[in-house]
Amino acid sequence: MTAFMHILGLSRDSLKKILLTGDFEEYPEDKHMHCTARLVEMLNLYASDLENCTESDSKKNFLMEEIKVLEEAKWIGLPNFMPRTAFLTILQRKVKGISYMPVNFVNDVWDYLESVVISVLNHHSSNYYQLQVSTRRAGEKLIAKKKKNSIQHVMEAVEMEKLTDYTCNPEYLLEYNRLIAQQETFLKEVLSTEEPKPTHVKLEGVGEIDVVNLRNYPHVLSQAFDLKARMIAYWKIVLRRLIDSIALHLMLSINELINIDLQKEICNDLLSPGGGGIERLLEESPSISGKREKLTRSVKVLRESKDTVARIMDRIGIYD
């Protein structure tokens, strides 16, 4: 039992070092085990993918989607009222377009963490084959549970973004006001009757906008621009939430895995009907058993040789 708890303690300490504190003393040359650095790289790549995906391209078909949605969201009522359904329709489509990315990210993270956890468990239980099998099985089961929980968390986060457009972040209004302040100038250039009419108009914070097709919709351009400004400002908030909340969730999950779940899962597997019990799991590995058997045979041969030599010496003494 002491050996078993010692192995668990060593495994937990190693995982704390490489996953939480960034201490790579045990694996100085193995970059795969420099986990905090690898996790940051994976998070940065995920953030970059979100920020550079098609749904985050503000210039693409500028205002055309907003115009189409506003045309279909018309209703009998006062003019210049922004229908909330128009904003939610675009938001839901954009969120749906990126919904696979957070799921893929947490899948990749847990696949990586599984390789790390199993490697550490195998290392510290290498002298006890049955225990190694049990801890590896428990580790794989635990990672599968954690991955499932993370995917569920991500899917809930994505669904929340689809259903409600809310933020208390002041950056939303700052960004919206910065964009809407350019509305009058932008529309004046788009609808200009002076020749030659501009084909592109620069919008600060967005870039050069192709405005040729926009001239066909003068009656809805003002509302479409307002809707676009809101979406650009709010989309940054959505992406930030999908990055920050998932990063925090993963760090909490890793902490719980190391400090609570791992020992509990291994003990449960060990004490299950198929676990075999601690004594059996602490049996030596086949390689160690083979070496011990070979050594035992060698000792036996040496003893037999000693007896044979002793008998020969006795006979020599008699003849003398």
Beta strand extents in the chain (DSSP E only) = 200-203, 207-210
CA 227/CA 82 separation, integer angstroms: 8
- Predicted confidence at residue 274, as pLDDT, reads 60
pTM of the model: 0.84
How confident is the model over 144-149, as a mean pLDDT? Answer: 97
Confidence band, pLDDT 50/70/90 cuts, at residue 133: confident
Taking phi first (over 0 means left), then psi (-120 to 50 degrees means alpha), and beta for anything else, what does residue 218 get? alpha
Mean per-residue pLDDT of the chain: 89
What is the per-residue pLDDT for 51?
96
Q: Between residues 34 and 84, which one has the greater pLDDT?
A: 34
DSSP structure string for 218-242: TTTHHHHHHHHHHHHHHHHHHHHHH
Q: Check residues 237 and 273 and name the one with the higher pLDDT.
A: 237
**Interatomic CA distance for residues 22 and 8, integer angstroms:** 20
* Each residue's pLDDT tens digit, 82-97: 888 999 999 999 999 9
Is a pLDDT exceeding 90 seen at residue 298?
Answer: no
Mean pLDDT of all residues in 164-187: 96
Q: Do the Cβ atoms of 220 and 70 come closer than 8 Å?
A: yes
Tell me how crowded residue 29 is: count the other CB atoms within 10 A of its CB: 7
pLDDT at 195: 85
Would you state the pLDDT for residue 288?
63
pLDDT of residue 76 exceeding 80, the answer is no
For the chain, the structural domain boundaries read 2-283, 288-320
For residue 79, report the phi and psi dihedrals to the nearest 5 degrees: -75, 165
Higher pLDDT, 24 or 293: 24
Using alpha carbons, select from 80, 224, 230 the residue that is nearest to residue 166.
230
The verdict on whether omega for the bond into residue 196 sits within 30 degrees of 0, i.e. cis, is yes
- E-strand ranges in 222-318 read none
Average pLDDT over residues 53-58: 95
Residue with tokens 């839901």, as numbered in its chain: 92
Q: CA 124, 130, 131: angle at the middle one, nearest 5?
A: 40
Tokens (6 digits) for 282: 């602490």
pLDDT exceeds cutoff 90 at 290? no
CATH superfamily of 2-283: Dynamin, middle domain (1.20.120.1240)
Q: Distance between CA atoms of 95 and 219, rounded to whole angstroms?
A: 28
Give 187-236 pLDDT, tens digit per residue. Answer: 999 998 888 889 999 999 999 999 999 999 999 999 999 999 999 999 99
